[in-house]
Amino acid sequence: MTIATLTKPWQAFSYGFLDASAKRELRRKMLKAIAVPGCQMPYASREVPMARGWGTGGLQVTLTLLKPSSVVKVIDQGADDSVNAASIRSFLSKVSGAAETWDTLAATLIQSRHRIPEERLRADQVLVLQVPNPEPLRPVEPNMSVARQMHADADYGRLWLILYEQIVRSGRIMQGASYPALVNGRHVMTPSPIPRWDLPKLHMAQHLTFLSAGREKRLYAVPPFTRVEPLVFSDVPYKVEDHAALTCHRSGVAGYFMNEIPQDGGGSVFELSDSHLGIKAIRRRDGEDVALGATWYENGKMPR
Amino acid sequence: MTQLAAVPVPDAFEIRTNATFEALMLALSRPGSAHSLPAPGMAGLAETLLDRECQVFCDDPALAEICAGFGAALVPAARADHLFLSLDTPEGLALLEQAPVGSALYPDAGATVIASARLGAGQRLRLTGPGIETFTDIELGDLAPGLWPLRAARCRYPAGFDLFLICEGRVIGLPRSTTIEVL
Amino acid sequence: MAYVATRGGERAIEQSERLYRAELGRIDAARVTAVRQTLPMLIDRVMGEASLYEPDLAALALAQSGGDLYEAVLLLRAWRTTQPRLGIAEPVEQEQLVTHRRISAAFKDIPGGQILGPSLDYSHRLLATGVLQGHPFEPRPVEPAATPAPARQPSLAAWQKAQGLVADPPRAEVAPDDIPDLTREPLLFPAARAHTLQSLARADTGGMLALGYSAMRGYGNAHPTVNELRLAEAELRVRHPRGTVFSAGRVKVSQAEVMAKGKSGLLELGFCATLGWNEVKVISGATLDLNAPGAAKGSPVEEEFFLYHTEPVEASGFCIHFKLPHYVTFQSSLDALRGARGAAAPIPEQAPEPEEVTA
């Protein structure tokens, strides 16, 4: 045996950037994450050629899943052409040969920061959410070792308490995005900073979702058909953003989550946050034969 | 700035392990549903999952050697994070009894258990839980009768072990989150 | 009106990178060599934080990032991720280090002697402005000592242990292959000793100084005395597949032991070592290590606190990520705010006719 037999021919990068051992670790942790929905699984989190906090956790999960026949969509704040989404998408296709798409319907793998597309995801699609802070208890307990014990004890009283205090002070729950949710009746998770509008999309969904925080080295999952219940009080129902009646000033579409664009001289206009849904709606309005998928919300309401 | 070569192409190993993992992922996220593996048997799971960070117990010496080849340490069942067992015998069940289940504090310390079984014939089971919309009924054979009570006793959610059952070229997953009712 | 049919994001990021690189100009091997030869301390610092000992690559990373240290460290860490692990070196004992500098503040003299070695400690910090006026700064030649200091020096802590001044806990013998590896396993708390030391070794120099300094000023209980500080070269001994151990070269290392009197009545030691020569980092790290046992949750000397917050790639990445758009989260908060005020979001005037998008 020589040193040469222990190594392999030099190559600039492995397929999909991550080497075999990094992928194996991710696979093991992704399986554990599926087995205990909503429970944060620690992983080593390799350094990747992007800064921490810029989607490195999502990137590692996506890189583990990628194959040449994958079709990847990457969005940031709902937009495919957002600078960091463009950067991640081009990296993914460059290291894997996978096809890129903007169309939710065409994607097999969707990596997203802060949004879940408006078109319903199917059983054959996997959603990967980038997570800045995986710990829903951070506002009440910044120490991760203590927070771990609280999860072990299902000790979520202090989280309920801050929601209750918000109601007392402000007359409503003031939590914006990252609304904490109880998964499979056992673990409270943060769904990443998706708006409240998107959280019900994870409840009893058709698709599998991975949530991965590269900097904080934690990943968790919401398998299909898993209960995801926002923490609410029985007499104060869960309230999504009041966007149902807003209309996109570009596409004319109404009933979805919108970006507000402040205007000179006061007032605002709104545009669809799911940018490619907007593009498709415009194309269809202009007479093109474009398929729009079924959406989670219908007429601004989430059917139950 | 970084120049990457032309379109990267996965080698046979990458294609195989990627497909194996996809089958395992789908199987575990949809308990009871069968998914095709690129190659029959358990060796493919070993090359997909195991590394020098793993502690493995394997009751088949030939497979144990394969696992060790990936750098995994061979350890007693009670210390293993991955166990390859024959669950059609009382001896196999006795080993499963020792498999680590982790704890509420460290659910990830619960083991992954891989065994052979016959899919589509045998004991009828009703599965409910995450990954299943209402319920799924399956039939599993070539498993020792005490398996399901043992699993129920050991898997105290979120502690527990996660089970992959292999029938030739197919795999089903039974994560600890699945409730199994013996019909 | 068309939506965003152009791929604006892709063009923007491409041009933004070009703009940055235009400033740096062409990077060739000569520039990399110049960086490596002229900035050895910076190279050492970057190699330590990257936990990758390769001066040429470190110089390349600095050249490529234009000297942005966090970018350089990230480049090296990301490159490191892709490299196969061929072997694990044999442990190095202090006594085996080829020592260039070794000082102790604890005793006037120590077995093996104080060796000042290369240092700017006693230099007068006068800027050599003459260089800019055409008078190069020529270092004066070193005059060798009549009797050179021995290359290898004993450990002071070993002497203190023999005197019963320092606790000498039984040594756990761990095979090199079984040493936990921070780059392949997550850091959990209480941390494995190996993880703590690895994490300190690759920590951000500035971050470590800030927290170490807070401990020195009194946010830690123990006031450190430098027991031993070393700058040295360590032999990289690896085992050939046939079993022979051979030297694959040397790497520069620094290490510091600081001590304080413990509650037990014995001296307690804090330790930190890193690749490359970086005295500020190892003294700060050893001070944090010394103060860590029993530290209150959330104090700067609590292990979880300082290890998480001195990770250069994580900390710098998270800091700059706040530049990314956050308008969805902001929109969500705005909605709650308006809801609380009882005012609904304003509806734009002259909205186009809604079109249903439900297929």
pLDDT at C221: 80
Predicted local confidence at residue B150, as pLDDT? 97
- pLDDT at position C356 is 33
Position A10 scores a pLDDT of 56
Contacts of A270 (CB under 8 A, 6+ apart): A243, A246, A247, A248, A249, A258, A259, A260, A261, C348
Torsion, Cα of A172, A173, A175, A176 (10° steps): -40
Q: Which residues of chain B neighbour A8 with C-beta distances below 8 Å?
A: none
- Each residue of B99-151: pLDDT tens digit? 999 999 999 999 999 999 999 999 999 999 999 999 999 999 999 999 999 99
**Neighbouring residues of A200: CB distance < 8 A, sequence distance ≥ 6:** A228, A230, A238, A240, A296, A302
Contact check, Cβ <8 Å, C332/A177:
yes
Question: Alpha-carbon distance C126 to A13, whole Å?
Answer: 47
From chain C, pick out residues whose CB is under 8 angstroms from the CB of B1.
17, 21, 64
Residue C141: other Cβ atoms inside 10 A: 6
Q: Give the residue from C332, C338, C347, C350 with the most A CB atoms within 10 Å of its CB, the best one to mutate.
A: C332
pLDDT band for B52, please (50, 70, 90 cuts). confident
* C358 CA: distance to closest CA in chain B (Å): 24
Q: Give the pair of three-digit tokens for residue C260.
A: 């304080």
Residue B147 sits at the vertex; the CA angle it makes with B146 and B152, to the nearest 5 degrees, is 105
Q: Which of B62-66, B82-86, C215-219 has the lowest mean pLDDT?
A: C215-219
Contact B18 A67 (CB under 8 A): yes
Fold exhibited by the domain A20-133+178-225: Rossmann fold (3.40.50)
What pLDDT score was predicted for residue C184? 87
Say if residues C165 and C107 touch (Cβ distance below 8 Å). Answer: no
**Greater pLDDT, C10 or A249:** A249
Quote the mean pLDDT of chain B.
95
pLDDT at position C336 is 87
pLDDT at C344: 41
Listed range (A59-63, A252-256, C12-16, C75-79) with the worst mean pLDDT: C12-16
A91 interaction partners in chain B (CB closer than 8 Å): none
Could you give the ipTM of this predicted complex?
0.97
Residues of A in contact with C353 (CB under 8 A): 252
Asked whether the beta carbons of C296 and C185 are under 8 A apart, the reply is: no
Q: Do B1 and C184 touch (CB under 8 A)?
A: no
For residue C350, what pLDDT is reported?
43
Q: What is the pTM of this model?
A: 0.89
Strands C245-261, C225-239: pairing kind: antiparallel
CA angle, B38 as apex, B37 and B40 as ends, to 5°?
Answer: 65
What's the confidence (pLDDT) of residue C170? 80
Distance CA A66, CA A74 (A): 13
Choosing among B1, B54, B103, which should be mutated to test the C contact, i.e. which has the most C CBs within 10 A?
Answer: B1
The shortest CB-CB distance from A95 to any of B8, B21, B29 is to: B8
Q: Which residues of C touch A244 (CB under 8 A)?
A: none
Helix residue ranges per DSSP H, A226-274: none
Q: How many residues does chain A have?
A: 304
pLDDT higher for A5 or C333? C333
C242, C234 contact by CB (below 8 A): no
> What pLDDT does residue C175 have?
83
pLDDT value at residue A7: 53
Closest-CA distance, B12 to chain A, in angstroms, reads 11
Nearest CA in chain A to B110: A32
Rounded to 10 deg, the angle between the C55-65 and C29-38 helix axes is 110
Interface chains of chain B (3 or more CB pairs under 8 Å): A, C
Confidence of residue A124 (pLDDT cuts 50, 70, 90): very high
Identify the pLDDT of residue A2: 52
Q: Which of residues 99-128 of B touch A (CB under 8 A)?
A: 103-105, 107-108, 110, 112
Tell if the CB–CB gap between A36 and B25 is shorter than 8 Å.
no
The nearest CA of chain B is from the CA of A48 a distance in Å of 13
Query: Counting every residue, how long is chain C?
Result: 359
* pLDDT of A161 strictly over 80: yes
Cis check for the bond before B158: say yes or no (omega within 30 of 0).
yes
Cβ atoms of C282 and C273 within 8 Å: the answer is yes
Please measure the distance between the N-terminal and C-terminal CA atoms of chain A and give it in whole angstroms. Answer: 64
Confirm if A258 and C347 have CB atoms less than 8 A apart.
no
User: Which residue type sits at A303?
Assistant: P
How many whole angstroms separate alpha carbon A186 and alpha carbon A107?
31
B171: which 2 tokens? 């795999």
Do the chains contact at A15 and B24, CB–CB below 8 Å?
A: no
Q: Say whether A224 and B104 touch across the interface (CB within 8 A).
A: no
Q: How many CA atoms lie within 13 A of A73 on its CB side?
A: 26
Q: Is A122 on the interface with B (CB under 8 A)?
A: no
8 A C-beta contact, residue A202 and residue A129: no
Q: Where are the domains of chain A?
A: 20-133+178-225
Chain B residue with CA closest to A91: the answer is: B4
With contact defined as 3+ CB pairs under 8 Å, the chains touching C are: A, B
The two most distant CA atoms of chain A are separated, in Å, by 77
A3 has pLDDT over 60: no
Which residues, listed in sequence order, are joined to residue A74 by a DSSP beta bridge?
A111
Smallest CA-to-CA distance from C303 within A148, A144, A52 is with: A144
What's the average model confidence in pLDDT over B7-28? Answer: 95
- DSSP at A235: T
Confirm if B80 and B111 have CB atoms less than 8 A apart: yes
| Domain B12-182 class, CATH top level | alpha beta
Average pLDDT (B44-58) is 95
Chain B: closest CA distance from residue C96 (Å): 29
Task: Give pLDDT tens digits along chain C (359 positions).
Answer: 334 434 567 888 889 999 999 999 999 999 999 999 999 999 999 999 999 999 999 999 999 999 999 999 999 999 998 887 778 899 999 999 999 999 999 999 999 889 999 999 999 999 999 999 999 999 999 999 899 889 999 999 999 999 999 888 788 888 887 888 999 888 998 899 999 999 999 999 999 999 999 999 988 888 889 999 999 999 999 988 788 999 999 999 999 999 998 888 899 999 999 999 999 999 999 999 999 999 998 899 999 999 999 999 999 999 999 998 889 988 998 888 888 876 444 444 444 433 333 33
Mutation to test the A interface, candidates C177, C239, C328, C347, most A Cβ within 10 Å: C328
Nearest CA in chain B to A34: B29
- In this prediction, residue A9 carries a pLDDT of 57
Strands B35-36 and B112-116: unpaired
Q: Cα separation of A73 and A89, whole Å?
A: 7
Confidence of residue A11 (pLDDT cuts 50, 70, 90): low
Q: Is the peptide bond before C190 cis (omega within 30 degrees of 0)?
A: yes
Query: Is C21 in contact with B52 (Cβ distance < 8 A)?
Result: no
State the pLDDT at residue B20.
Answer: 98
Q: How many CA atoms lie within 13 A of C284 on its CB side?
A: 24
Of A52, A80, A85, A24, nearest to A213 by C-alpha is A52
Question: Mind listing the pLDDT tens digit for each residue in A180-227?
Answer: 999 999 999 999 999 999 999 999 999 999 999 999 999 999 999 999
CB A111, CB A72: distance < 8 Å:
yes
Q: Of A222, A230, A213, A278, whose CA–CA distance to A78 is shortest? A: A278
Q: Which residues of B touch A187 (CB under 8 A)?
A: 158
Touching subunits of A (3+ CB pairs, under 8 Å) are B, C
Query: In chain B, where do the E strands start and end?
Result: 35-36, 55-58, 73-74, 82-85, 112-116, 118-128, 136-141, 162-167, 170-174, 179-182
- How close A140 gets to chain B, by Cα (Å)? 19
Distance from CA of C41 to the nearest CA of A (A): 24
- Among residues of chain B, what percentage have pLDDT more than 70? 97
Give phi and psi for B119, each to the nearest 5: -95, 135
Per-residue confidence band for A109, with pLDDT thresholds at 50, 70 and 90: very high
CA nearest neighbour of C53 among C278, C219, C318, C251: C251
Nearest CA in chain B to C78: B2
Q: Cβ C21–B1 below 8 Å, yes or no? A: yes
First to last CA, chain B: 62
Domain assignments of chain B as residue spans, ordered by start: 12-182
Interface residue ranges in chain C relative to chain B, Cβ cutoff 8 Å: 17, 21, 64, 177, 184-185
